[in-house]
């Protein structure tokens, strides 16, 4: 059996990491991603490309950006997309290493555009921002652009001279000429909030400004920040982890035409083993999630288009149960003392409002009440949404066979098979 995911975006071959340029253009959702087509390992970054009419059936498209020009000599790193004058513009990081060991580098901002959403042309006078402002080291990447009133705004991740992560904000009227407006926010300390804020995003949800980012270098703190790098957000002063699983990074959002704020993230973590490498590919995206906000906390739930994948659903009362397929959705109540196991590879236990997931490493989160739980399983992933998205765990779990669900007490579960 293959580890290849059936209803999550993953490459046919080669390596993927961050989602890039998540956008809507001419009737399609577009998703680009960091891509190295030649081998299932990180290499000179291209932008891979898929599109979808419904967020669940994705069509592969030709590579959108290939590195190698003087401004992106060693990589087209992460960035975003925006529609302007009937074109889809990509705003991306150019990466140029200064030395063969990749110790220091130059990073800049470039643009490319397309009229059909398939073929992209790099702007001939790239870069549009050639270097970071003062008080920033050479870490300067991952521009996120959006339209605000009559302008384009951009935030970009950086590192202050003193080593703390921060984000910078720029403004433009034409995507070519950019004015630097200053620092938008910075880490309190390196240990608490990181040394480089990768993949920042800034959006308004229900009247609240949310700054989303993926800081490198936050120190583990008890049961918090247990991943190699973290992804989280700030609404007020505190940095809050967005997903409590092991495999969630570089999250990015887009505004759907119907007003929903939709998020996708890389469903992996730097320095993981990636057993799928033996099949010639590596990395995947999370299922798209709708974001909502409650008491200044972000909630994430699978987008409602998940319904398009459901084809057989039944309620069963079970303790041990062989699932009908490797693509399933499981809905059940959550209660104190519950322990759930999948093929002895993954366990989730609930104790006194604390939820612990064990999947090679242990991850912990807390909930206020005991309500419900939804699991989305694909061939090598498990995403758990608790209490309507209050607490989410995303993990790659490498099922060798059809998973067996085991519960420590008899419970009623709705088991729904998901098609491709």
Which CB atom, from 108 or from 387, has the smaller least distance to ligand FRU? 108
Tokens of 367: 């909930």
Helix boundaries (H) for 157-204: 190-193
3-state SS assignment for residue 154: strand
Which CB atom, from 17 or from 327, has the smaller least distance to ligand FRU? 17
Q: Considering only residues 240-279, where is the footprint of ligand FRU by CB under 6 A? A: 249-250
Binding mask 100-139 for ligand FRU (x = CB under 6 A): ----------------------------------------
Parallel, antiparallel or unpaired: strands 289-294 and 261-266: antiparallel
Q: Which of 77, 170, 203, 299 lies at the binding interface for ligand FRU (CB under 6 A)? A: 77
Q: Considering only residues 351-410, where is the footprint of ligand FRU by CB under 6 A? A: none
- Enumerate residues 6+ apart whose C-beta is below 8 A from 217: 165, 190, 194, 195, 196, 229
323 contributes a contact to ligand FRU by CB under 6 A: no
78 contributes a contact to ligand FRU by CB under 6 A: yes
Which CB atom, from 18 or from 276, has the smaller least distance to ligand FRU? 18
- Enumerate residues 6+ apart whose C-beta is below 8 A from 215: 165, 187, 193, 194, 195, 196, 197, 198, 229, 230, 232, 239
- Enumerate residues 6+ apart whose C-beta is below 8 A from 118: 49, 61, 62
Q: Annotated active-site positions, please?
A: 18
Dihedral sign of CA atoms 293, 18, 378, 418 in order: positive
Binding mask 41-70 for ligand FRU (x = CB under 6 A): ----x-------------------------
* Nearest residue to 165 via CA among 217, 210, 106, 129: 217
Q: Considering only residues 194-233, where is the footprint of ligand FRU by CB under 6 A? A: 198-199
CB of 247 to ligand FRU, least distance (A): 13
93 contributes a contact to ligand FRU by CB under 6 A: yes
Q: Are 144 and 156 in contact (CB under 8 A)?
A: yes
Binding mask 6-45 for ligand FRU (x = CB under 6 A): -----------xx---------------x----------x
Which CB atom, from 251 or from 328, has the smaller least distance to ligand FRU? 251
Between the alpha carbon of residue 290 and those of residues 52, 55, 264, 419, the distances in Å are 16, 11, 9, 21
- Enumerate residues 6+ apart whose C-beta is below 8 A from 52: 28, 29, 31, 58, 59
CB of 16 to ligand FRU, least distance (A): 9
Residues 405, 291, 238, CA angle at the centre, nearest 5°? Answer: 100
Binding mask 135-174 for ligand FRU (x = CB under 6 A): ------xx--------------------------------
3-state SS assignment for residue 354: strand
Q: Are 45 and 75 in contact (CB under 8 A)?
A: yes
Size of the site for ligand FRU (CB under 6 A): 13
CB of 45 to ligand FRU, least distance (A): 5
CB of 272 to ligand FRU, least distance (A): 12
57: number of Cβ within 10 Å: 15
CB of 312 to ligand FRU, least distance (A): 37
Q: Are 23 and 55 in contact (CB under 8 A)?
A: no
Burial pattern 352-369, b for ≥16 Cβ within 10 A else e, equals eeebbbebeeebebebee
Which CB atom, from 105 or from 178, has the smaller least distance to ligand FRU? 105
Which CB atom, from 77 or from 287, has the smaller least distance to ligand FRU? 77
Which CB atom, from 37 or from 388, has the smaller least distance to ligand FRU? 37
Which CB atom, from 198 or from 290, has the smaller least distance to ligand FRU? 198
CB of 266 to ligand FRU, least distance (A): 7
CB of 236 to ligand FRU, least distance (A): 25
CB of 183 to ligand FRU, least distance (A): 18
Binding site residues, ligand FRU, CB under 6 A: 17-18, 34, 45, 77-78, 93, 141-142, 198-199, 249-250
């Amino acid at each position: 059996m293959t580890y290849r995911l059936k209803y999550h975006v993953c490459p046919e071959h080669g390596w993927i990491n961050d989602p890039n340029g998540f956008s809507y253009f001419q009737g399609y959702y577009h998703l680009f991603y960091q891509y190295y087509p030649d081998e299932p390992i990180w290499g000179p970054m291209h932008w891979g490309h898929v599109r979808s009419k419904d967020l669940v059936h994705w069509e592969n498209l030709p590579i959108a950006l290939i590195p190698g020009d003087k401004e992106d000599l060693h990589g087209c790193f992460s960035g975003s997309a925006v529609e302007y004058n009937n074109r889809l513009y990509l705003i991306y990081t150019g990466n140029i290493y200064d030395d063969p060991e990749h110790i220091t580098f130059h990073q800049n901002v470039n643009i490319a555009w397309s009229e059909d959403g398939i073929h992209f042309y790099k702007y001939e006078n790239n870069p549009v921002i050639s270097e970071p402002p003062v008080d920033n080291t050479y870490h300067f990447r991952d521009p996120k652009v959006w339209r605000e009133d009559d302008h384009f705004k951009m935030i970009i991740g950086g590192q202050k001279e003193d080593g703390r992560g921060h984000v910078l904000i720029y403004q433009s009227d034409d995507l070519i000429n950019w004015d630097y407006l200053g620092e938008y926010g910075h880490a309190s300390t390196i240990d608490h909030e990181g040394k480089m804020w990768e993949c920042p995003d800034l959006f308004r949800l229900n009247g609240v400004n949310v700054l989303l980012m993926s800081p490198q270098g936050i120190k583990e703190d008890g049961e918090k920040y247990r991943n190699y790098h973290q992804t989280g957000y700030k609404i007020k002063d505190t940095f809050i982890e967005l997903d409590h699983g092991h495999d969630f990074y570089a999250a990015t959002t887009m505004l759907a035409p119907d007003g929903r704020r939709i998020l996708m993230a890389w469903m992996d973590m730097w320095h993981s083993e990636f057993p799928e490498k033996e099949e010639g590919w590596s990395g995947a995206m999370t299922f798209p999630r709708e974001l909502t906000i409650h008491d200044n906390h972000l909630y994430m739930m699978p987008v409602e288009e998940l319904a398009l994948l459901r084809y057989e659903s039944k309620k069963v009362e079970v303790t041990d149960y062989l699932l009908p397929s490797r693509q399933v959705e499981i809905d059940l109540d959550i209660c104190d003392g519950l322990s759930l196991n999948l093929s002895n590879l993954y366990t989730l236990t609930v104790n006194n409002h604390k939820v612990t997931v064990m999947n090679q490493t242990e991850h912990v989160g807390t909930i206020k009440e005991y309500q419900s739980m939804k699991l989305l399983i694909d061939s090598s992933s498990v995403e758990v949404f608790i209490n309507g998205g209050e607490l989410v765990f995303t993990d790659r779990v490498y099922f060798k066979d059809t998973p067996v669900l085991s519960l420590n007490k008899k419970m009623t579960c709705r088991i729904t098979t998901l098609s491709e």
